[in-house]
Amino acid sequence: MGRVLEIVLNLPEPTVLAWLEQQGQSPERIDTALTETLDALPGFERTGEDVAPRMLIGFDFKRKLADGGWRVTTETLDGRRRAMASHREAHAPGVAICHVVCDAMLEPDAMLDPAPDTAFESAFGDAPAALAQVLADAGKLTTVATLETSRRITWRRQTARQVDVDVALVSMRCTCPGTDASPALRELRITTQWPDDEDDAGEPEAEPVTDDAVRALSEPVDEATHEATSPARPVPTAESALAALFAVANELVAALPAFPVLADAFDRVCRVDIARDNAPARARPLDLGGARTPHRALRVIERNIAEQWFGNEAVVRDAPDVEFIHQMRVAQRRLKTVTKIFPAWVDGGWTARIEPRLKRLSDLLGEARDWDVFADSTLPELAEADVDATSWNATRDAANQRRADARAHVQQALRSSAYAELVLAWLEWISDLAMRGTPEAVRGRSLRGYAKKRVAKHYDRVTRDTKLTALDDASRHRVRIQAKRLRYALEFLEPIITHKTRRDVVRTLSRVQSVLGDGNDAVVALHFLEQLDVPPYQLGFARGWCEALKRTTAKEGERLLGDLRKPKIASGGAG
């Protein structure tokens, strides 16, 4: 079977219910309203509706299959069972290349659980070598997730460039062994044909993708039907397939409360880790994977940032929390830093479609974070420094209300189509990195050589003004921003910097950022107190306290900058 390119849009129930309320519709009409909206979209032709209950059971062992991009499942429909194996390769964050490699009907009495490996050995007797090897390495498979689909409606949209894009609205419930069933989940699966390329020269030539193959790959239960319903369609170019996929995704998010996700519902359920999923997603250490060019390193870094961003997004959208807001803001700031380290890659698409929207989101996240710090840290410290801390209670109440307002603004933004369009524009920009290659201005540069120059430039900016006590508040804050950018740059490039740089320079930069951050929190606190219209005594007391804190942090920042040594890139091979 041929391959398809896929984007999945999540329809989070709290946001969908808010959307229904805005339209004056009852929650009971949730599925009807979604379907009617899709039916009304120009150019969307309904191609099918399936309400037959389907059950998919996924198998794995210690994620050995999933980590290699493999998905092995059985499906039950009308008493019939089949075994399927598919491979999913990430073209970019949120964009997958999917390929069904095995699809076999099972005997009615085939034992799938607790010994699925025997049934799979029989069903996948002609499996490609790569799948056979991963199954052998995985050993005895166990059930990792069960997905029950209750409804699936499909549409086709032909774009202006004559590329057919299929859209499936799927309603389902997912469970993992030992966990409660999930609430109803809904997602839109958007697929189009993906051409085989020269990298697959060693594989048999793929067949043209039929409508049934598209259905099989776009179905979260990996459902495939072998009765052809229409002739094969020509395969588009990679560029036209990507453009068509994102064009249709943008049409959908403009009309529905739908948002891109990095993985479909089935994969997200398979990855459930209660301890981790209840905690905010922090930046993970980077593995550049042996990248020898800045272009390849940039693609790895973008994926790392996307994992942190999307790891916090759902909580921030549905129930804003202090640390989740903070970590999403960190992801946004890391993304902004990337444009400073890799400026040659910033093109018209970035400046026109991403940068303005990113700035608006940054302002909202920054405002919410500032109110969190003020309400939880700076204001309580200020009150405790006064003779009567209880006299600040009314100010605390007012601050908490402003904090709630700031969080509501963030939540409203993340539930908007403008936010979904921002994320799609970013994911499309990352997808295009693989297609357009290294900018001519930096072509032929090794990663180490490129990193050495960029790091040196950022180090010079940090150490340009080290007499912090002589600077005004805004100038000191700019030094802090430069220190943070250099720290992020070194973290991005951690695999190729020296041990001493990791141990000493990054640590010192973290201290500079923290100390000057305390001073900036004092500046923000004064600004907020003026907004809250507090009694003159409190404002006067706060001015004295904050000025003392700013002087102390400026002196400590000076000392730390004096200790800051020049970062060094480790010597190595061609990279």
**pLDDT tens per residue, range 510-550:** 999 999 999 999 999 999 999 998 999 999 999 999 999 99
Q: How far apart are CA 348 and CA 354, in angstroms?
A: 10
Residue 263: both structure tokens together: 């993985």
- Per-residue pLDDT, 113: 45
Give me the amino acid identity at 470.
Answer: A
CATH code at 446-575: 1.20.120
Greatest alpha-carbon pair distance for the chain in Å reads: 82
Digit-coded pLDDT (tens) for 261-308? 999 988 887 765 544 457 899 999 999 978 999 999 999 999 999 999
Residue 386 DSSP one-character state: S
Residue 20: both structure tokens together: 């229904």
- Per-residue pLDDT, 210: 42
SS3 219: coil
Q: What is the dihedral sign for C-alpha 531, 533, 536, 541?
A: negative
Q: How far apart are CA 393 and CA 407, in angstroms?
A: 21
Q: How far apart are CA 273 and CA 178, in angstroms?
A: 12
- Strands 259-260 and 95-105: what pairing? unpaired
Q: How far apart are CA 372 and CA 414, in angstroms?
A: 18
Give the position of tokens 């922090």: 282
N-terminal to C-terminal alpha carbon distance within the chain: 38
Asked if 97 and 5 count as a contact pair (C-beta separation under 8 A), the reply is yes
Provide the angle, in degrees to the nearest 10, between the axes of the packed helices 447-462 and 322-341. Answer: 110
Number of other residues whose CB lies within 10 A of the CB of residue 527 = 12
CA dihedral of residues 541, 543, 547, 548 (deg, nearest 10): 0
- Per-residue pLDDT, 445: 94
- Per-residue pLDDT, 217: 41
- Per-residue pLDDT, 379: 98
Asked if 462 and 478 count as a contact pair (C-beta separation under 8 A), the reply is no
Q: How far apart are CA 207 and CA 193, in angstroms?
A: 11
Cis omega (within 30 of 0) for bond into 114: yes
Asked if 155 and 46 count as a contact pair (C-beta separation under 8 A), the reply is yes
Q: How far apart are CA 337 and CA 481, in angstroms?
A: 10
- Per-residue pLDDT, 127: 82
Using alpha carbons only, what angle is made at residue 167 by residues 166 and 173, rounded to the nearest 5 degrees? 135
Domain boundaries of the chain, sorted by first residue: 3-272, 310-438, 446-575
Which residues of the chain have a pLDDT value below 70?
A: 1, 108-121, 181, 197-234, 271-277, 573-575
Alpha helices in 219-321 (DSSP H): 238-255, 265-270, 274-277, 294-318
Digit-coded pLDDT (tens) for 400-453? 999 999 999 999 999 999 999 999 999 999 999 988 889 999 999 999 999 999
